[in-house]
Amino acid sequence: MMGHLKLGSAAVAAIFLAACSTTTTDDSMQVGVNDDDQFATTTVESDIELSDAQTFGINDDDRFDATTTTPDTAVAARVVRKNDTIAMASPYMTDYSTVYGAIGTAGLADTFDGDVEYTVFAPNNAAFSGMDLSGLSQAQLADTLKYHTVEGRISSADLVKKLQSNGGSYEVMTLSGEPIRFVDMDGTIKVADRNGYTYTVDMPDNEFRNGYIHGIDGVLGREY
């Protein structure tokens, strides 16, 4: 899939076995991020989609690949399903089926199907290559997914603005209680995990009723 985010970024959790401490899997947990969270809320008219240059309010040389899409339509570069929740995105994001399998196994389907807004930085299937995902507990899977999730609705435009106003580096707390950090590396946004590895946000702004999914090309917290 295209839509490479520039300037800018269960099976899932095997990566965190060595590094993750056990945390509660209470789906209602809050992490001190309220409605006036770290990011400005992005509002989009329900039946209108614009190119990224229009939506972001920045020029065509904004380091994003401009894409256009129609409402409630899955396209190669971006998925927009404004009547569906993040939990319902699986049929439209087939390159992220590993993550969606983990959501069900971890017991987080109801969390991502509710009214609270989230932003998920989801590893694509290729990111799990060479990993053994068997034998993980429900709590481990849930904690892994929460490490990829931030409360609040965060578009790529919101993220770019935060990077620009914070010297090219910006940290945000995840639902697991650990931060992830976004950095501008030579004009490309990367997301850095607890181990110091950085990954690219390469499929940004997949939009759903209760938030965004930004595809990334690695699993946060993975140990090599």
The string of pLDDT tens digits covering residues 166-198 is 999 999 999 999 999 999 888 788 999 999 999
The pairing of beta strand 118-123 with beta strand 211-216? parallel
* Residue-level pLDDT at 21: 37
The mean predicted confidence, pLDDT, of the chain is 74
* Residue-level pLDDT at 132: 76
Nearest to 44 by CA among 74, 5, 72: 72
What kind and span of H or E run contains 160? helix 156-165
Q: Per residue in 30-39, is it b (16+ CB within 10 Å) or e — as a string?
A: ebebeeebbb
Nearest to 78 by CA among 23, 5, 25: 5
Cα-atom radius of gyration of the chain, to the nearest Å? Answer: 16
The string of pLDDT tens digits covering residues 48-100 is 333 332 222 222 333 333 333 344 444 446 899 999 999 999 999 999 999 99
* Residue-level pLDDT at 77: 65
Domains of the chain (ranges; CATH) run: 11-19+38-216 (2.30.180.10)
